[in-house]
């Protein structure tokens, strides 16, 4: 059985993959205070880093896709893998905006960016998902079981929009529900440790 060690500031999708699979891993969460001492010990001097039996893996989304394949959560055929990859591409715009919000130092500009993220960027993402990834109304991005695509949607949306907005996108809401109602996820979410980015 492989030994997994995850070093990160916030790598929630990787955590969710481990939880969904039921795979134990060592979760090393760094803060901006503890990071400088660890930085020289990482490839490229950045996080996250996933170490599997002593071998380091880098680049967040590449790690997500690697683990999803290892755990059977990347679809059962090329069509389903495409549907998951499509969600990854759609989520990139939201991720870029979230980084802008986090990095903005001016409080007024930060407030404006947060408002745009909540009122424009995330609803646009959800609208696309309603038409594409969630259009089947099954509550799954691909096939008939939870996958990496569903975890990305959950991490991108959950807790970042209101109920009224969620109700406009029932197929997306069904995906969020399926993630939250998974027994392993329930236990994890109830005890989840926040990160510096939450």
Over the Cα atoms of the chain, what is R_g?
A: 17
pLDDT of residue 196: 63
59 and 82 co-located in one domain: no
Residue 58 has pLDDT above 80, yes or no: yes
Residue 90 lies in a domain: yes
User: 57 with 51: CB under 8 angstroms?
Assistant: yes
Token digits for 26?
């060592």
CATH of the domain at 31: 3.40.30.10
82 and 177 co-located in one domain: yes
**pLDDT tens figures, 30-53:** 988 999 999 999 999 999 999 999
Residue 174 has pLDDT above 70, yes or no: yes
DSSP secondary structure letters along 174-196: HHHHHHHHSHHHHHHHHHPPP-T
Residue 66 lies in a domain: yes
Residue 124 structural domain: 78-182
What's the pTM value of the predicted model, to 2 decimals?
0.91
66 and 97 co-located in one domain: no
**pLDDT tens figures, 114-143:** 999 888 998 999 999 888 754 567 889 998
- Round to the nearest angstrom and report the end-to-end CA distance of the chain: 32
Q: DSSP strand E in the chain: where?
A: 4-8, 26-29, 49-52, 55-58
Residues in the chain: 198
Residue 198 lies in a domain: no
CATH of the domain at 89: 1.20.1050.10
21 and 67 co-located in one domain: yes
52 and 96 co-located in one domain: no
62 and 92 co-located in one domain: no
């Amino acid at each position: 059985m492989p030994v997994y060690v995850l070093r990160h500031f916030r790598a929630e999708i990787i955590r969710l993959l481990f939880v969904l699979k039921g795979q134990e891993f060592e979760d090393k969460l760094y803060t901006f205070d503890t990071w400088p001492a660890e930085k020289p010990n990482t490839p490229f001097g950045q996080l996250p880093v996933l170490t599997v039996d002593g071998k380091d893996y880098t680049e967040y989304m590449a790690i997500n896709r690697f683990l999803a394949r290892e755990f059977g959560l990347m679809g059962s055929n090329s069509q389903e893998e495409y549907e998951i990859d499509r969600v990854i591409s759609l989520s990139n715009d939201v991720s870029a905006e979230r980084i802008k919000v986090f990095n903005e130092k001016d409080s007024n500009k930060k407030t404006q960016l947060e408002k745009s993220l909540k009122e424009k960027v995330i609803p646009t993402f959800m609208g696309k998902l309603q038409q594409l990834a969630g259009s089947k109304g099954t509550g799954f991005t691909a096939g008939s079981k939870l996958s990496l695509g569903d975890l990305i949607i959950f991490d991108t949306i959950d807790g970042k929009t209101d109920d009224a907005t969620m109700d406009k996108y029932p197929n997306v809401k069904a995906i969020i529900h399926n993630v939250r109602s998974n027994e392993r996820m329930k236990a994890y979410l109830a005890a989840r440790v926040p990160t510096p980015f939450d």
